[in-house]
Structure 1
Amino acid sequence: MKKSLKKVAANLSAKVLKSFALSTSASACAVGFYQPKEPKCLREK
């Protein structure tokens, strides 16, 4: 019983933390906090 409860808790926390990480990274790009440098080969001259 303890092992199955721990497994469920681990899976649930992994899903929650994964969705939090994805939403945080997506919002940072959308808002403009994170702007990666554009490679030279993709820059317009």
Structure 2
Amino acid sequence: MTDPVVEMSRVSKSYRRGDRELPVLKEISLRIEQGEFLALMGP
């Protein structure tokens, strides 16, 4: 097996909206191999 083109482990991201924190990603892991296609969609 070859090394992945992209690899992420336990990634989290949040934004601040006023005094609140809005989590959009919570500990996601992702591995993309050579030749794979990925579409990531949101609101």
Which category describes the TM-score, using the shorter chain as reference length? under 0.3
| TM-score, normalised by the number of residues in structure 2 | 0.24
Judging by fraction of residues, say which structure has more strand.
2
Judging by fraction of residues, say which structure has more helix.
1
Which structure would you say has the larger RCO, counting Cα contacts within 8 Å and 6 or more residues apart? 2
| TM-score, normalised by the number of residues in structure 1 | 0.23
